[in-house]
Structure 1
Amino acid sequence: MNAIELLLEKVSTPMLDEPAPSDQQLDVMFRAALRAPDHGRIRPWRFLKVSGEAREALGELMAQAALEDQPDLSEDALARFRGMPLRAPMLVLAICPVKKHPKVPEVEQKMSLAAAVQSLLLAAHAQGVGAIWRTGDLCYKPSLAKGLGLADNEQLMGFIYLGKPVGVKKKVPVLDVGQFVSVWTGGLQVS
């Protein structure tokens, strides 16, 4: 697969099974992530690997965080939260350690982390590893960040689920580039 094919064919893989990526595959994924655009070279990325029994501990943290907003959650709902990290043999948590910087605002640091995650996902796909980046309200719960040991300046920006793809690769529609690209000629933009 050449680079253009990789970019045009990458899809999220929601159904994942054993095995987790190997250490060698993970090394390639993290090396790709660390090549993300990085204004000011402040390296606004950090990743936590979660596998094995640690996934159950993460699920418990997720259930407890969900209870903060909905203290009357049913046991079935709590079980769903506890089971979220068990959807894949490994998760990588994407964390943005936001730094005070005179030229690099917080939003640029988060965009850099997003670019790092995309590179990680592409490197996973190139190696045949299934991956999906998930977020949701739980990502932004201070109690979850605290339970994960994040510093005050660190923000959890998503859960990357990794494993062997299961099922048929989904077909994604080919989008019309013209619907998303226009030309600005220096004057007023007209619709």
Structure 2
Amino acid sequence: MTLAGSALDLLKSRKSPKVFDLAFPGPNAAELDTMLAIASRVPDHGKLAPWRFILFEGEARRRAGEAIAAVFMADNPEAEPERVAIEKARLTRAPLVIAVISKAAPHVKIPEWEQTLSGAAACTLLLLAAHAQGYAATWLTEWYAYDARVRAALGLSEAERIIGFVHIGTLARPQDDRPRPALPDLISRY
């Protein structure tokens, strides 16, 4: 098989698993470094690197969940303990969670939208790099990605935004492929 064939097969086979189907083990340090190096090779007009990564591994996943749950409880003081437990477990559902953070800012030549899209491309390459190394990954945001109090608790500045949380682990069970859109419905010619 050619390299192009291998790459195309890889791209065709990637899918986002259910986050609850991600199990241990997660990537080791060398694999993680490879994933992050690949994720950093995105289009980046002006070489601004308008994104960064926050890694949640081991006990840090639980500590981050405590911060998420604290904000949830502040807004929902009557919440059932089971629901609070769900919020505490948000970042413990996979062995590794990588938050991709947008640092997009006004620039004389490069629109903020372009900078944000560069960060979104980093999320996509993280997914592909995980898949290429035999792991499964899914990109989620969920409510806490948009909450300023959670962002502050996770160490973001007021100007930074969470593009996504990429959950990475070993696939615990086979996943059915979801229906894909019909290409003719997505394509027009000018």
Confirm or deny: 8 A CA contact 2:123 2:164 kept in the other structure.
no
What is the CA distance between 1:68 and its match in structure 2?
Answer: 4.0
Distance 2:48 2:40 in 1: 11
What is the CA distance between 1:130 and its match in structure 2?
Answer: 1.1
Q: Does 1:165 align with 2:150?
A: no
Q: 1:34 aligns with which of 23, 35, 40?
A: 40
2:138 is matched with 132
1:187 is matched with none
Q: In the TM superposition, what whole-angstrom CA distance separates every residue of 1:4-24 from its partner, at most 9, and x where no partner exists? A: 112111101221111111112
Q: Structure 2: which amino acid aligns with 1:20?
A: G
3-state SS of 1:40 partner: coil
Distance 2:67 2:180 in 1: 39
- The Cα RMSD (Å) is 1.5
Distance 1:142 1:99 in 2: 17
Confirm or deny: 8 A CA contact 1:140 1:157 kept in the other structure.
no
Q: In the TM superposition, what whole-angstrom CA distance separates every residue of 1:142-165 from its partner, at most 9, and x where no partner exists? A: 111111111222112221111111
Q: Structure 2: which amino acid aligns with 1:115?
A: A
Structure 1 ranges of 4+ moved more than 3 A: none
Aligned positions of 1:1-191 closer than 5 A: 2-14=6-18, 15-184=21-190
Distance 1:108 1:177 in 2: 26
Distance 1:156 1:173 in 2: 28
Distance 2:177 2:163 in 1: 27
The TM-score with structure 1 as length reference comes to 0.90
Distance 1:183 1:46 in 2: 37
Q: In the TM superposition, what whole-angstrom CA distance separates every residue of 1:13-68 from its partner, at most 9, and x where no partner exists? A: 22111111111211121111111111121111100111111111111111122234
3-state SS of 1:117 partner: helix
Paired positions, count: 184
The TM-score with structure 2 as length reference comes to 0.91
Distance 1:12 1:60 in 2: 26
Distance 1:68 1:112 in 2: 34
In structure 2, list runs of 5 or more residues that go unmatched. Answer: none
Distance 2:180 2:162 in 1: 31
Q: In the TM superposition, what whole-angstrom CA distance separates every residue of 1:107-151 from its partner, at most 9, and x where no partner exists? A: 211111001110110011011111111111210111111111112
Distance 2:183 2:164 in 1: 28
In structure 1, list runs of 5 or more residues that go unmatched. Answer: 185-191
3-state SS of 2:50 partner: coil
